[in-house]
Chains A and B, each alone.
Chain A
Amino acid sequence: MTRWLIALLFALAAPLAAQDLLPPARYAYQQLPDPAQEAKAQALMETLRCLTCQGQSIADSDASMAGDLRSQVRTRIARGEDPEAIRGWLIERYGDYISYAPRVTTLTWPLFALPLVLLALAALLLRKRFRRTDPA
Chain B
Amino acid sequence: MSDPLNKSARWALWLPLGLFGVFVALVALGLLRPASRDVPSAMIGKPMPDFALAPVVAGHPGLAKADLTDGNPRLVNVFASWCVPCAVEAPQLAQLKAAGAEIDGVAIRDRGEDVAAFLARNGDPFTRIGDDRVSAVQLAIGSAGVPETFVVDGKGTIRYQHIGDIRPEDAPMLLEKLAEAGR
A residues neighboring B (CB under 8 Å): 16-22, 25-26, 51-52, 54, 64-65, 68-69, 71-72, 90-95, 97-98
Known: A65-B135, A65-B145. A20 touches B109 (CB 8 A): yes
Majority DSSP secondary structure for residues of B touching A:
loop
Could you list 18 examples of A-B contacts with CB < 8 Å?
Answer: A17-B82, A18-B82, A19-B82, A20-B110, A21-B111, A22-B110, A22-B111, A25-B133, A51-B145, A52-B144, A65-B138, A68-B135, A69-B139, A90-B139, A92-B43, A93-B41, A94-B41, A95-B40
Asked if A71 and B134 sit within 8 Å, CB to CB, the answer is yes
The answer to whether B173 has its CB under 8 Å from any CB of chain A is no
Q: How large is the interface on B (under 10, 10 to 19, 20 to 34, 35 or more residues)?
A: 20 to 34
Given contacts A25-B133, A52-B144, A94-B144, 10 further A-B pairs with CB under 8 A are: A18-B84, A20-B80, A54-B39, A65-B135, A71-B134, A93-B139, A93-B142, A94-B39, A94-B42, A94-B142
B residues neighboring A (CB under 8 Å): 37, 39-43, 80, 82-84, 108-111, 114, 133-136, 138-142, 144-145
Which B residues lie within 8 Å of A22 (CB)? 109-111, 133
| Shortest Cβ gap from B149 to chain A (Å) | 17
Which A residues lie within 8 Å of B108 (CB)? 20
